[in-house]
Structure 1
Amino acid sequence: MSSGLKKIVIIGVVVLVLFFLITQPTHSADLVHRLLGWLKDGAEAIITFFKSLFA
């Protein structure tokens, strides 16, 4: 991918995300909250695995 095309794609994604955040802030916040919850659950599962492994 050329650097010019890469730059255009990145700018397009940023503009799309900003548009989504501005037009639907409540839905965006809910989406981020769910994503962080999934990350937290995944981290807790990994911690539990290593605790069980070394216990």
Structure 2
Amino acid sequence: MEETGLIAVNAKKLAGLVGIALVLFFVIAQPGHAAGLVSNIIDFLRSSAESVITFVSNVFH
């Protein structure tokens, strides 16, 4: 049973390292596309936050 837990931890660690490697590869191989993606994510988060703020202010208004 303990060995199964160890394998799960190693799989999580490996998945994390693979994810980091893919992100680094994407940033190095296509920095313009990576910057655009980050910009789109930030715009989405900003828009989402503004929507939540508008909702809350309308509820308590």
Give distance in 1, aligned partners of 2:11 and 2:42: 31
For 1:7, the equivalent position in structure 2 comes to: 13
**RMSD of aligned alpha carbons:** 1.0
Structure 2 matches for 1:8-23, cutoff 5 A?
8-23=14-29
Percent identical residues: 38
Give the partner amino acid of 1:15: A
Q: Alignment partner for residue 50 of structure 2, among 26, 30, 44?
A: 44
Aligned-residue offset at 1:12: 0.6
Moved segments of 4+, more than 3 Å: none
2:33 is equivalent to residue 27 of structure 1: yes
TM-score (norm 2): 0.85
Equivalenced residues, count: 55
After TM superposition, the score normalised by the length of structure 1 is 0.94
Q: Which has the larger radius of gyration?
A: 2
- For structure 2, the 5+ residue unaligned runs are 1-6
